[in-house]
Structure 1
């Protein structure tokens, strides 16, 4: 058994914001396998059935007295709800994964992005401080905070965000550092570079590509329209990244880490691998559409994970080319 699958924490309780997202669902599976009781926040404006589809593999009957997964309707924009929930659940660990996380959308919804992504983190940190509970907090930071900083980017690289989303995440990142230094909280930032999976949202470029491959291979469509094909990203596999999140909260000291593979690829590289896995030439099916480009582009995000590899022992095993194959296979099977 690996550290990711061995039950090691019976009796522990975790609270996950963003539990219905890609990372939240994989983290829920990981923690339940380790013996945790897991509480998650589901936005009250969403259809509970539709919004929890990623949690189907760990669904537990609400009437089962032995169940360890509990969902609470709420929102990071509601400070009172956060205080009450933290006080009532009294979690040993909190993972703040909730955000308006689509970079292109953040240009259209900058105020909403700031309210959820930036101020939401403050509301959560303040809820912990006000409740007085002893808990460990993971804040999901992002490589988008680096923006135009020269790669490879590590924990000492200055931030230069190029989107409202990146700006909001910088606020949340430094708020976490501030509460750690001001109140002695065990609060850490995981600066995650792009990480994908078959559960990635359909509007994100990797999933948009792999879904298109599945549909084109099935004869259901002929073209997919994408933005900047030359953007360089460091793509990893989401199930591995949630393991890093958990390991960070098991560490003796609260330390911020970059989570990355260190192996870059362009969007066109990813498209070539994805289409090629289905026996197709991406150049026959990909068209450029300027509507999908950002007002301020981020040319290269390439992480340096040396610190977390050295101090915690976490290392990405799945890289972008294998990731493309995993996602194509899943989308073709689903179709």
Structure 2
């Protein structure tokens, strides 16, 4: 039986990954800043809360990280922790940088110090690329991040690459494009749209207020993407991979699908608020996930249309 430690087990990706690993026969440890007080609502929704071994772990504290690793002795560590909202990173840039960049460095250094044969997955982000226009970003595309979140993720990416090269750690980064699910909190725009559409369909007279709906993103289905994380750590050699559907849509297309699914015309229920536009944003996000297909045998099963409908169906 393999043992896995998931840092950030309470989030969307952490919960789906925990479910996947349990199905594969792993013993799963879930790290949280205060495991005694956390609710772990996503794990309860998936029916797996009682199957996880919880540990209190602060990835910003090197001593906490090292103690946990020496105690658990995991075969695999998945770093899904840290501040996860691009929008919030403009309001909390210091916390974002520390939780993502310093947290990743602490994990890498603790693995090196432990001298255990641990395989490490780091959650990267398409936000590292910034605005590539119509160019489909792959693993060789330069990073030009346009948010504090993207800057922090770029720093963490290079830390992983450095430890892999300098210390021969089996450490990989998945450069994940947007991936959604019913486990998203409402501060993420996709869930905000889904929740409002359901309320309006059930009689609410509210107007959904959004920022820039002409941004374009590659949206996928989160349960697909955690499988790619696991596949990376099963390879003989560590490497970095772009994980995406390869299909890009505007946010207004997602809005249309969601409202159409509940039998409404979105234009009757949505208004734009310029104050919700970000200081700097990515107008388009395009991805080339060919390497993941060639080397991991991974292909996204679901595209934006299915994702929108899945989220609506779960909400109802």
TM-score normalized with structure 2 length: 0.97
Secondary structure at 2:10's aligned position in 1? coil
Contact conserved, 2:36 with 2:56, CA < 8 A, in 1?
Answer: no
CA drift of 1:290 comes to: 2.0
CA drift of 1:46 comes to: 8.3
Pairing partner for 1:202 from 186, 190, 197: 186
- The equivalences for 1:1-335 within 5 A come to 11-44=1-34, 47-49=37-39, 52-56=40-44, 57-60=47-50, 69-150=52-133, 151-331=135-315, 333=316
CA drift of 1:103 comes to: 0.6
Contact conserved, 1:189 with 1:256, CA < 8 A, in 2?
Answer: yes
CA drift of 1:45 comes to: 8.7
Structure 1 gap ranges (5+) = 1-10, 61-67
**CA separation in 1, counterparts of 2:210 and 2:87?**
12
Secondary structure at 2:120's aligned position in 1? strand
CA drift of 1:330 comes to: 1.2
**Post-superposition CA distance 1:235-294 (Å, at most 9, x none):** 000000000000110012111100000111111000000000011011111111123211
**CA separation in 2, counterparts of 1:277 and 1:120?**
40
TM-score normalized with structure 1 length: 0.91
Contact conserved, 1:149 with 1:158, CA < 8 A, in 2?
Answer: no
What RMSD, in angstroms, separates the aligned Cα atoms of the two structures? 1.1
**CA separation in 2, counterparts of 1:111 and 1:294?**
18
CA drift of 1:79 comes to: 1.2
Contact conserved, 1:141 with 1:169, CA < 8 A, in 2?
Answer: yes
Structure 2 gap ranges (5+) = none
**CA separation in 1, counterparts of 2:216 and 2:118?**
37
Contact conserved, 1:14 with 1:36, CA < 8 A, in 2?
Answer: yes
Secondary structure at 1:250's aligned position in 2? coil
Secondary structure at 2:31's aligned position in 1? strand
**Post-superposition CA distance 1:16-52 (Å, at most 9, x none):** 0110000000000000011100111112298422xx0
**CA separation in 2, counterparts of 1:225 and 1:167?**
28
